[in-house]
Amino acid sequence: MKAALIGNGIAASLTPVLHEAEGRAHGLAYRYRRFDMAGAPEPAVALQDAVTEAKVAGYVGVNVTYPYKQQIIALLDDLSDGAGDIGSVNTVVFRNGRAVGHNTDYVGFHRAFVAKIGPLQHDTVLLLGAGGAGSAVGLAMLDAGVSCLYVYDRDACVADALRARLVRLRPQAQVLVWSGATLIDGVINATPMGMASHPGQAIDLDDVPHAKWVGDIVYFPHQTPLLHAAAARGLHVMTGGGMAVGQAAAAFELFTGLPADVARMTAHFHTLTQEVPA
User: Which residues have a catalytic role annotated?
Assistant: 69
Q: What is the distance of C-alpha 132 from the center of its chain?
A: 8
Report residue 211: phi and psi, to 5°. -60, 140
Helices 262-273 and 241-256 pack at an angle, to 10 degrees, of 130
CB 214 within 8 A of CB 193: no
Q: How far is residue 97's CA from residue 149's CA, in Å, rounded to a whole number?
A: 40
In sequence order, the 6+-apart residues with CB closer than 8 A to the CB of 227 are 194, 214, 216, 237, 239
Q: How far is residue 82's CA from residue 115's CA, in Å, rounded to a whole number?
A: 22
Amino acid letter, residue 132? G
Q: What is the distance of C-alpha 34 from the center of its chain?
A: 17
In sequence order, the 6+-apart residues with CB closer than 8 A to the CB of 154 are none
**Which neighbouring-strand residues pair with 34?**
5
Helices 262-273 and 15-25 pack at an angle, to 10 degrees, of 130
